Structure 1
Amino acid sequence: MEPDPQINSGILKELITNRMPYGKYKGLRICDLPEPYLVWMSQKGWPNGKLGMLLGTIYEIKLNGLEYLLKPMKQMYR
């Protein structure tokens, strides 16, 4: 079974449009969170729910050097 591209692009859009709701980086877009912060969060444990999923996803994207995938969408949602 092939992954649904609409789901994947929906998650990418959420990484770009959603903002961190609390903490030191409150108000910063999820996609713009610094990698050291994401590493720290991964060690502490991701929050439950959608925010945890988004943080874990952007962590994996940054960890694997895939940020270029977000560049075209970031330009669309500035």
Structure 2
Amino acid sequence: MALAEMRMPFGKYQGRLLIDLPERYVVWFANNGFPEGRLGRMLQTVHAIKVNGLEYLFAPLRHGKTGR
């Protein structure tokens, strides 16, 4: 799954997997505007998962088990 493989391309957390970004960083984007395009859509998804306490959904992604 792309969400489990995409890395932050810039900034303080450059190179970190999007699913491993700190919640406060993702919330900053929610408050100040997500980037355009695919990265923005992915960050919006990560934001929704983190702020709703659904981070357990990332566990299978971290272990390479995407259900395929």
Q: Fold-level match, TM-score > 0.5?
A: yes
The match for 2:19 is 31
- Work out which of the two has the higher radius of gyration on C-alpha atoms and give 1 or 2: 1
Matched, 1:49 2:37: yes
- Separation in structure 1 between the aligned mates of residue 51 and residue 4 of structure 2, nearest angstrom: 17
Q: TM-score, normalised by structure 1?
A: 0.78
- The answer to which structure has the higher helix fraction is 1
Matched, 1:72 2:63: no
CA RMSD, aligned part only? Answer: 1.1
* Number of residue-to-residue matches in the alignment: 65
* 3-state SS, counterpart of residue 63 of structure 2: helix
Structure 1's consecutive aligned runs of 4 or more residues displaced over 4 angstroms after TM superposition are none
Identity of aligned residues (%): 48
Ranges in structure 2 where 5+ consecutive residues have no aligned partner: none
How far off its partner does 1:70 sit? Answer: 1.5
Matched, 1:40 2:67: no
Which of these residues, 14, 18, 22, is aligned with residue 6 of structure 2? 18
